[in-house]
Amino acid sequence: MLLISYGFGLFLAALVLLYYLVPGRFQWVLLLAASYLFYLIGGGIYILYPMATTVSTWLLARRIGRITRQSKEYMRKQEWTRQQKKEYQLQVKKTQRRWMIFGLAFNFGILAVLKYTNFVLGNVNGLLRVFGADGEFALAGWLLPLGISYYTFQSMGYLIDVYYRKYEPEKSLARFALFVSFFPQLTAGPIGRYDQMNEELYAEHSFCSENLRLGFERMLWGYLKKLVVADRLGPAVVTVISAPEVYDGIYVLLGMIGYTVWMYADFSGGIDIVLGAAEMFGIHLAENFERPFFSRNLGEFWRRWHISLMTWLREYIFYPVSMSRAAKKLSELTGGFFGKEAARKIPVYFGSVVVWLTAGIWHGASWNFVAWGMANCIVMLASQECAGLYRAYHKRFSFSNAKGYRYFEMIRTFFLFACLEMFEYYSFGNVFLMFGNMVSTARFSQLFDGRWSALGLGRADLLAAGVGILLMFLVSVWQEKGRHVRRTIEEMPWLLHYGFIFGMCMMVLIVGVYGHGYDASQFIYNQF
């Protein structure tokens, strides 16, 4: 069941009605049943995978929590020295670490096998052909379970938190199952944290018309992004980036910009629908975007884009890896070659490489995404190394502190991000070839040489997409200035308020794209 299908609308409406009719103590049970029904409709037998992750993670977290309680009770009965207590605690953590590692290996193993087996086999077959070997391995024919990367990362974050004793493990398997499978999140995230979700997820919620209205308006905004902008640009963008031998010159630039806008409208639109649907039940999920195109550098950009994933990678990979024994030993080994100053940065480099390699692989099982992750890593590390130069530059040239220069930095960051995205859709060699071709041969006259007509974007399409993009931009500008857009709309005279909402509804229903020979109902990030 897809988020923009009529079936989802009916499903959500019926569920909201039932949710406020049943006794409050049963509301979370209804959400759990609805979440599993949602997955059964969309994933069928593949529901066994999230169930396996749910049960295994719950059992292991309970086991780790039980060890913690038993060890504390045992220590209270002993008359030990401080050293003896420390040694015992180390043994306890070692045992708990084994259970945690088992859980990580089991669940990430499922993700790796299902998502990356064909990638590995394809590379092995390529090597066999290079060396002239006969035969090759047959590729696996299984499908990827819905949202597997999201619920796996969310569950493993919970297991790691329990191991570090950030909170007690959930006693109820059913309640934990709702945390893993809450249906709006399954399709596009965000990746939630148990300590941030548990209170609202299981709380009793009284009927509140404001939650329904605000949730509907948030969903409507997501549908506008998706149907008016993303699905109108998508087919044209795919045509351009899929045929570099045909669409060169200025089309490389248009494809680069179009791909970035398309992806943002599609992904953030999906998140808006998810957050709006959850808000109808009185549940507020974490924001996943914070106006990333107003960022002044790439580091800031990645703190504003796909926030839940980048936060997860920072907390559960970067910090543990950069502070690990392996990182410290690597720093010690390189100290004699590069000096102590450079050696101190090795843990940061090591952690950054692991994070961006993971981010690339998470996004897709292909070398394109590995290259994309490593390209981002190189640019980010280079920016960190040049931080002193940047500070000296801003201090030396006063114009760099002016408002106009800030706009330049935003535009620069947008194009830097768009350039790095080229690694996602061009082969590694073609990225540099097409970038050079764009710089050297792009001419405005190329738009009138007949290739544009094959993209299927007429004047009406451009007008509709342009209006949608303009609305997205104006809302972002308003928010970036610290103004609350939703509150501003609420404070309008009721006729203007509902006239604005009605206008958005008509724009989605009349101007929205519902498929012209392509699947307009599939979100880009559903594949994860």
Express as a percent the part of the chain with pLDDT over 90. 66
CA angle 288, 291, 296 (to 5 degrees): 120
336 has pLDDT over 80: no
Q: Which pLDDT score, from 0 to 100, does residue 487 have?
A: 79
50 has pLDDT over 90: yes
Between CA 257 and CA 265 the distance in angstroms is 12
Q: Which pLDDT score, from 0 to 100, does residue 496 have?
A: 87
CA angle 418, 423, 427 (to 5 degrees): 140
Of the candidates 509, 505, 421, which has an alpha carbon nearest to the alpha carbon of residue 241? Answer: 421
338 has pLDDT over 60: yes
CA angle 255, 260, 262 (to 5 degrees): 90
125 has pLDDT over 70: yes
Q: In 352-459, at which residue ranges do the beta strands (DSSP E only) sit?
A: none
Between CA 337 and CA 330 the distance in angstroms is 11
Burial of 23 (0-12, 13-18, 19+ CB in 10 A): exposed
Burial of 389 (0-12, 13-18, 19+ CB in 10 A): exposed
More confident residue, 81 or 177: 177
Q: Which tens digits make up the pLDDT trace of 246-281?
A: 999 999 999 999 999 999 999 999 999 999 999 999
Between CA 16 and CA 211 the distance in angstroms is 11
Q: Which pLDDT score, from 0 to 100, does residue 515 have?
A: 52
1 has pLDDT over 80: no
Tell me what percent of the chain is helix, strand and coil, each rounded to the nearest 5.
75, 0, 25
Provide the mean pLDDT of the chain. Answer: 90
Between CA 521 and CA 273 the distance in angstroms is 13
CA angle 211, 217, 219 (to 5 degrees): 100
Q: Which pLDDT score, from 0 to 100, does residue 357 have?
A: 95
Between CA 519 and CA 505 the distance in angstroms is 22
527 has pLDDT over 60: no
Q: Which pLDDT score, from 0 to 100, does residue 517 have?
A: 41
Q: What is the pTM of this model?
A: 0.91
- Distance spanning both ends of the chain, measured CA to CA: 16
Between CA 309 and CA 286 the distance in angstroms is 11
- Tokens 């926030």 sit at which residue? 307
Of the candidates 127, 129, 128, 125, which has an alpha carbon nearest to the alpha carbon of residue 137? Answer: 125
Rg from Cα positions in the chain: 25
- Neighbouring residues of 285: CB distance < 8 A, sequence distance ≥ 6: 184, 185, 190, 192, 197, 274, 275, 278
Between CA 296 and CA 97 the distance in angstroms is 40
SS (H, E, C) 395-422: HHCHHHHCHHHHHHHHHHHHHHHHHHHH
pLDDT category of residue 156 using cuts at 50, 70 and 90: very high
Of the candidates 428, 406, 417, which has an alpha carbon nearest to the alpha carbon of residue 306? Answer: 417
Amino acid identity of residue 328, one-letter, is: K
Q: Which tens digits make up the pLDDT trace of 37-47?
A: 999 988 788 89
519 has pLDDT over 60: no
Q: Which pLDDT score, from 0 to 100, does residue 526 have?
A: 53
Q: Which pLDDT score, from 0 to 100, does residue 299 have?
A: 93
More confident residue, 250 or 327: 250
pLDDT category of residue 524 using cuts at 50, 70 and 90: low
Cα within 13 Å of Cα(208), Cβ side: 12
More confident residue, 491 or 304: 304
Between CA 201 and CA 170 the distance in angstroms is 13
CB 255 within 8 A of CB 240: yes
pLDDT category of residue 391 using cuts at 50, 70 and 90: confident
Between CA 306 and CA 314 the distance in angstroms is 12
Task: Give the lowest-confidence range in 175-179, 412-416, 441-445.
Answer: 441-445
Between CA 525 and CA 262 the distance in angstroms is 12
Query: For 156-170, what is the mean pLDDT?
Result: 96
* DSSP annotation string for 116-157: HHHHHHHHHHHHHHHTT-S--PPPP-PPPPTTHHHHHHHHHH
Report residue 214 as tokens. 């605000």
- Tokens 């609420």 sit at which residue? 490
The DSSP output letter for 289 is -
Report residue 441 as tokens. 């041969």
The DSSP output letter for 521 is T
Query: For 470-492, what is the mean pLDDT?
Result: 86
Count other C-beta atoms under 10 Å from residue 377's C-beta. Answer: 19
Between CA 123 and CA 140 the distance in angstroms is 14
Q: Which tens digits make up the pLDDT trace of 226-248?
A: 999 999 999 999 999 999 999 99
Q: Which tens digits make up the pLDDT trace of 167-225?
A: 999 999 999 999 999 999 988 889 999 999 988 999 999 999 999 999 999 999 999 99
288 has pLDDT over 90: yes
516 has pLDDT over 50: no
Q: Which pLDDT score, from 0 to 100, does residue 333 have?
A: 81
Between CA 107 and CA 113 the distance in angstroms is 10
Express as a percent the part of the chain with pLDDT over 70. 97
Burial 458-480 (b: 16+ CB within 10 A, else e): eeebeebbeebbebbeeebeeee
514 has pLDDT over 50: yes
Q: Which pLDDT score, from 0 to 100, does residue 362 have?
A: 92
The DSSP output letter for 491 is T
Query: For 428-443, what is the mean pLDDT?
Result: 92
